[in-house]
Amino acid sequence: MRVIAIINQKGGVGKTTTTMNLAHALARDGYRVLAIDLDPQANLSVGLGVTKKPQMGVADILINDASLFDMTEEVRDNLELLPAGDKLGEFEYIRSKGSQRGFLLQYSIRESKAEKDFILIDCPPTSGILGMNALLAANEVIIPVAGDYYSLQGLSRQMQIFDYVENTLNRHTKKWLVLTRYNDRRKLARKVRDSVVHYFPNRVLQTPIRETVALAESPSYGKTIFDYQAKNRGATDYQQLAWDVVEGRVETQGEELGEW
Protein backbone atom coordinates (compact mmCIF):
# COMPACT_ATOMS: atom_id res chain seq x y z
CA MET A 1 0.00 0.00 0.00
CA ARG A 2 1.38 3.38 -1.02
CA VAL A 3 0.48 6.29 1.27
CA ILE A 4 1.17 9.58 -0.51
CA ALA A 5 0.82 13.06 0.97
CA ILE A 6 0.20 15.85 -1.55
CA ILE A 7 1.82 18.75 0.26
CA ASN A 8 3.21 22.24 -0.20
CA GLN A 9 3.14 25.13 2.25
CA LYS A 10 2.44 27.53 -0.60
CA GLY A 11 -1.23 27.96 -1.46
CA GLY A 12 -2.60 28.03 -4.98
CA VAL A 13 -0.29 25.41 -6.46
CA GLY A 14 -2.95 22.77 -7.09
CA LYS A 15 -2.69 20.41 -4.10
CA THR A 16 -6.40 19.65 -3.89
CA THR A 17 -6.84 19.58 -7.68
CA THR A 18 -4.01 17.07 -7.88
CA THR A 19 -5.27 14.91 -5.02
CA MET A 20 -8.79 14.75 -6.40
CA ASN A 21 -7.95 14.07 -10.03
CA LEU A 22 -5.00 11.78 -9.40
CA ALA A 23 -7.14 9.71 -7.03
CA HIS A 24 -9.90 9.39 -9.62
CA ALA A 25 -7.40 8.59 -12.40
CA LEU A 26 -5.94 5.75 -10.33
CA ALA A 27 -9.41 4.48 -9.43
CA ARG A 28 -10.40 4.50 -13.11
CA ASP A 29 -7.45 2.21 -13.77
CA GLY A 30 -8.80 -0.28 -11.25
CA TYR A 31 -6.69 0.60 -8.23
CA ARG A 32 -8.37 0.73 -4.82
CA VAL A 33 -7.95 4.29 -3.58
CA LEU A 34 -8.71 6.21 -0.40
CA ALA A 35 -8.53 10.02 -0.51
CA ILE A 36 -8.12 11.76 2.86
CA ASP A 37 -9.15 15.41 3.26
CA LEU A 38 -6.75 16.78 5.87
CA ASP A 39 -7.51 20.44 5.19
CA PRO A 40 -10.06 22.16 7.50
CA GLN A 41 -11.35 24.06 4.45
CA ALA A 42 -12.63 20.68 3.17
CA ASN A 43 -12.06 21.58 -0.48
CA LEU A 44 -11.33 17.98 -1.44
CA SER A 45 -14.63 16.84 0.05
CA VAL A 46 -16.53 19.56 -1.81
CA GLY A 47 -14.70 18.80 -5.05
CA LEU A 48 -15.76 15.17 -4.82
CA GLY A 49 -19.38 16.17 -4.20
CA VAL A 50 -19.58 15.63 -0.43
CA THR A 51 -21.16 18.74 1.10
CA LYS A 52 -23.58 17.40 3.69
CA LYS A 53 -23.73 19.02 7.14
CA PRO A 54 -23.03 18.05 9.85
CA GLN A 55 -20.11 16.04 8.54
CA MET A 56 -17.96 13.49 10.32
CA GLY A 57 -14.48 12.56 9.16
CA VAL A 58 -10.79 13.01 9.99
CA ALA A 59 -11.66 15.29 12.90
CA ASP A 60 -13.45 12.44 14.68
CA ILE A 61 -10.45 10.15 14.20
CA LEU A 62 -7.86 12.62 15.46
CA ILE A 63 -9.93 14.13 18.29
CA ASN A 64 -12.33 11.37 19.33
CA ASP A 65 -10.41 8.20 18.37
CA ALA A 66 -13.07 7.04 15.91
CA SER A 67 -12.28 4.18 13.54
CA LEU A 68 -11.05 5.27 10.09
CA PHE A 69 -13.41 3.10 8.10
CA ASP A 70 -16.44 4.18 10.10
CA MET A 71 -15.87 7.63 8.59
CA THR A 72 -15.24 6.84 4.90
CA GLU A 73 -17.74 6.87 2.06
CA GLU A 74 -17.58 5.66 -1.52
CA VAL A 75 -17.61 8.59 -3.94
CA ARG A 76 -16.64 6.86 -7.22
CA ASP A 77 -16.00 3.28 -8.30
CA ASN A 78 -12.85 2.10 -6.46
CA LEU A 79 -12.56 5.49 -4.71
CA GLU A 80 -13.45 6.22 -1.09
CA LEU A 81 -13.22 9.56 0.69
CA LEU A 82 -12.41 10.31 4.30
CA PRO A 83 -13.91 13.82 4.65
CA ALA A 84 -12.32 16.53 6.76
CA GLY A 85 -15.19 16.70 9.25
CA ASP A 86 -16.68 19.79 10.81
CA LYS A 87 -14.21 20.16 13.69
CA LEU A 88 -10.87 19.51 11.99
CA GLY A 89 -9.75 23.11 12.47
CA GLU A 90 -9.99 22.62 16.25
CA PHE A 91 -7.31 19.92 16.25
CA GLU A 92 -4.45 22.43 16.05
CA TYR A 93 -5.53 23.80 19.45
CA ILE A 94 -6.08 20.53 21.30
CA ARG A 95 -3.18 19.51 23.56
CA SER A 96 -4.67 16.44 25.25
CA LYS A 97 -2.94 13.94 22.95
CA GLY A 98 0.51 15.01 24.09
CA SER A 99 3.63 14.01 22.17
CA GLN A 100 1.69 11.51 20.07
CA ARG A 101 -0.43 14.16 18.32
CA GLY A 102 1.70 14.01 15.17
CA PHE A 103 1.32 10.24 14.80
CA LEU A 104 -2.46 9.87 15.16
CA LEU A 105 -3.25 9.54 11.45
CA GLN A 106 -0.42 7.03 11.01
CA TYR A 107 -1.80 4.96 13.90
CA SER A 108 -5.33 5.10 12.49
CA ILE A 109 -4.25 3.92 9.04
CA ARG A 110 -2.13 1.15 10.52
CA GLU A 111 -4.85 -0.08 12.87
CA SER A 112 -7.48 -0.06 10.13
CA LYS A 113 -5.40 -2.52 8.04
CA ALA A 114 -6.73 -0.70 5.00
CA GLU A 115 -6.87 -2.92 1.93
CA LYS A 116 -6.05 -0.13 -0.49
CA ASP A 117 -3.50 0.21 -3.25
CA PHE A 118 -3.18 3.95 -2.71
CA ILE A 119 -4.02 6.39 0.07
CA LEU A 120 -3.71 10.03 -1.02
CA ILE A 121 -3.69 12.75 1.64
CA ASP A 122 -4.67 16.31 0.72
CA CYS A 123 -2.74 18.58 3.09
CA PRO A 124 -3.42 22.12 4.35
CA PRO A 125 -1.05 24.92 3.23
CA THR A 126 0.67 25.05 6.63
CA SER A 127 3.41 23.21 8.49
CA GLY A 128 1.34 22.71 11.66
CA ILE A 129 0.28 19.53 13.42
CA LEU A 130 -2.04 18.47 10.59
CA GLY A 131 0.78 18.66 8.08
CA MET A 132 2.97 16.69 10.48
CA ASN A 133 0.31 13.97 10.70
CA ALA A 134 0.38 13.70 6.91
CA LEU A 135 4.18 13.52 6.74
CA LEU A 136 4.40 10.86 9.44
CA ALA A 137 1.60 8.77 7.93
CA ALA A 138 3.00 8.86 4.39
CA ASN A 139 5.80 6.83 2.85
CA GLU A 140 5.86 9.16 -0.17
CA VAL A 141 5.08 12.80 -0.87
CA ILE A 142 4.09 14.62 -4.05
CA ILE A 143 4.90 18.33 -4.11
CA PRO A 144 2.95 20.36 -6.68
CA VAL A 145 5.00 23.25 -8.07
CA ALA A 146 3.28 25.95 -10.12
CA GLY A 147 5.14 27.56 -13.01
CA ASP A 148 6.11 30.80 -11.26
CA TYR A 149 9.12 32.18 -9.36
CA TYR A 150 7.46 32.23 -5.94
CA SER A 151 6.76 28.51 -6.22
CA LEU A 152 10.52 27.89 -6.31
CA GLN A 153 10.92 29.82 -3.07
CA GLY A 154 8.11 27.81 -1.48
CA LEU A 155 9.71 24.59 -2.68
CA SER A 156 13.00 25.49 -1.02
CA ARG A 157 11.24 26.09 2.30
CA GLN A 158 9.28 22.83 1.98
CA MET A 159 12.47 20.83 1.40
CA GLN A 160 14.01 22.37 4.52
CA ILE A 161 11.02 21.14 6.54
CA PHE A 162 11.37 17.64 5.08
CA ASP A 163 15.08 17.57 5.93
CA TYR A 164 14.41 18.67 9.50
CA VAL A 165 11.71 16.05 10.07
CA GLU A 166 13.74 13.26 8.51
CA ASN A 167 16.90 14.11 10.43
CA THR A 168 15.00 14.43 13.70
CA LEU A 169 13.09 11.16 13.34
CA ASN A 170 15.71 9.26 11.34
CA ARG A 171 13.24 8.30 8.61
CA HIS A 172 13.19 8.77 4.86
CA THR A 173 10.22 9.63 2.65
CA LYS A 174 10.37 9.31 -1.12
CA LYS A 175 9.72 12.70 -2.71
CA TRP A 176 8.17 13.43 -6.10
CA LEU A 177 7.49 16.80 -7.70
CA VAL A 178 4.81 17.62 -10.24
CA LEU A 179 4.56 20.81 -12.28
CA THR A 180 1.07 22.32 -12.15
CA ARG A 181 -0.70 25.24 -13.82
CA TYR A 182 1.89 24.82 -16.53
CA ASN A 183 1.93 26.85 -19.74
CA ASP A 184 4.86 25.99 -21.97
CA ARG A 185 4.31 29.15 -24.03
CA ARG A 186 5.53 31.17 -21.06
CA LYS A 187 9.29 31.56 -20.81
CA LEU A 188 9.08 31.79 -17.01
CA ALA A 189 7.21 28.49 -16.74
CA ARG A 190 9.83 26.76 -18.87
CA LYS A 191 12.62 28.21 -16.70
CA VAL A 192 10.89 27.00 -13.54
CA ARG A 193 10.58 23.53 -15.03
CA ASP A 194 14.22 23.44 -16.07
CA SER A 195 15.33 24.63 -12.63
CA VAL A 196 13.26 22.04 -10.79
CA VAL A 197 14.52 19.22 -13.04
CA HIS A 198 18.11 20.44 -12.62
CA TYR A 199 18.09 20.77 -8.84
CA PHE A 200 15.91 17.71 -8.14
CA PRO A 201 17.08 15.08 -10.64
CA ASN A 202 14.95 11.94 -11.01
CA ARG A 203 12.25 13.38 -8.76
CA VAL A 204 10.12 15.39 -11.22
CA LEU A 205 7.24 13.32 -12.54
CA GLN A 206 7.23 13.24 -16.31
CA THR A 207 3.86 14.84 -17.02
CA PRO A 208 3.29 18.55 -16.29
CA ILE A 209 -0.32 19.52 -15.62
CA ARG A 210 -1.23 22.16 -18.16
CA GLU A 211 -3.32 25.15 -17.17
CA THR A 212 -6.94 24.85 -18.22
CA VAL A 213 -10.19 26.52 -17.19
CA ALA A 214 -11.97 23.18 -16.81
CA LEU A 215 -9.69 22.14 -13.94
CA ALA A 216 -10.67 25.28 -12.07
CA GLU A 217 -14.38 24.91 -12.85
CA SER A 218 -14.99 21.23 -12.13
CA PRO A 219 -14.83 21.34 -8.29
CA SER A 220 -17.65 23.88 -8.15
CA TYR A 221 -19.90 21.16 -9.61
CA GLY A 222 -18.63 18.48 -7.24
CA LYS A 223 -16.89 16.78 -10.15
CA THR A 224 -13.40 15.66 -11.06
CA ILE A 225 -12.06 16.57 -14.48
CA PHE A 226 -13.03 13.08 -15.67
CA ASP A 227 -16.66 13.68 -14.66
CA TYR A 228 -16.70 17.20 -16.02
CA GLN A 229 -14.83 17.08 -19.32
CA ALA A 230 -13.28 13.68 -19.89
CA LYS A 231 -11.68 14.74 -23.18
CA ASN A 232 -10.15 17.91 -21.77
CA ARG A 233 -6.36 18.16 -21.74
CA GLY A 234 -6.52 18.31 -17.95
CA ALA A 235 -8.00 14.80 -17.94
CA THR A 236 -5.30 13.63 -20.33
CA ASP A 237 -2.58 15.09 -18.13
CA TYR A 238 -3.87 13.61 -14.90
CA GLN A 239 -4.31 10.19 -16.46
CA GLN A 240 -0.71 10.37 -17.67
CA LEU A 241 0.38 11.57 -14.23
CA ALA A 242 -1.29 8.53 -12.66
CA TRP A 243 0.81 6.31 -14.91
CA ASP A 244 3.90 8.31 -13.91
CA VAL A 245 3.14 7.58 -10.26
CA VAL A 246 2.48 3.88 -10.84
CA GLU A 247 5.55 3.35 -13.02
CA GLY A 248 7.91 5.89 -11.44
CA ARG A 249 8.31 7.80 -14.72
CA VAL A 250 10.36 10.95 -14.23
CA GLU A 251 11.76 13.80 -16.31
CA THR A 252 15.43 13.03 -16.80
CA GLN A 253 16.73 16.37 -18.06
CA GLY A 254 15.66 19.94 -18.76
CA GLU A 255 17.11 22.59 -21.02
CA GLU A 256 20.39 24.21 -20.06
CA LEU A 257 19.85 26.72 -17.26
CA GLY A 258 20.18 30.39 -18.16
CA GLU A 259 19.87 33.61 -16.21
CA TRP A 260 16.57 34.64 -14.70
pLDDT, tens digit (0-9, with 9 covering 90-100), for 164-191: 888 888 888 899 999 998 887 888 888 8
Q: What is the pLDDT at residue 97? A: 64
The size of the chain, in residues, is: 260
For the segment 246-255, the average pLDDT, to the nearest whole number, is 83
Residue 111 has pLDDT above 70, yes or no: yes
Is 43's pLDDT higher than 90?
yes
Tell me the CA distances in angstroms from 65 to 61, 93, 116, one per residue in order.
5, 16, 21
* Domain chopping of the chain, boundaries: 2-247
Percent with pLDDT over 70 in the chain: 95
Share of the chain above pLDDT 90, in %: 57
pLDDT digit string, tens, across residues 2-40:
999 999 887 788 999 999 999 999 999 999 999 999 999
Mean pLDDT of 111-139: 90
Q: What's the pLDDT band for 149 if we cut at 50, 70, 90?
A: confident
207: closest CA among 240, 248, 229, 232?
240
> Mean pLDDT throughout 149-158?
77
More confident residue, 216 or 87: 216
Between residues 63 and 142, the one the model is more confident about:
142
Residue 73 has pLDDT above 80, yes or no: yes
Query: Does the structure show a pLDDT above 50 at 118?
Result: yes
Confidence (pLDDT) at 260: 42
pLDDT confidence bin for 98, thresholds 50/70/90:
low
Q: Which whole-number Å values give the CA distances from 144 to 86, 97, 111, 251, in the listed order?
A: 26, 31, 29, 15
DSSP letter, residue 43: H
Mean pLDDT of all residues in 92-101? 73
- Judged against a pLDDT cut of 60, whether residue 257 lies above it is answered with no
Fold of 2-247: Rossmann fold (3.40.50)
* Confidence grade of residue 86 (pLDDT, cut at 50, 70, 90): confident
C-beta neighbour count of 140 within 10 angstroms: 16
Give residue 256's pLDDT. Answer: 53
What is the pLDDT averaged over residues 88-113?
A: 83
Which pLDDT value is given to residue 255?
A: 55
Instruction: Give whole-number Cα distances, 10 to 26, 106, 231, in Å.
Output: 25, 24, 30
Helix (H, G, I), strand (E, B) or coil at 56: coil
- Report the distance separating Cα 22 and Cα 116, nearest Å: 15
Residue 253 has pLDDT above 70, yes or no: no
Position with higher pLDDT, 163 vs 142: 142
Alpha carbon separation from 143 to 16, 105, 123, 184 (Å, rounded) = 11, 20, 11, 19
Tell me the C-alpha distance between 75 and 207, whole Å.
Answer: 26
CB atoms within 10 A of CB 244: 19
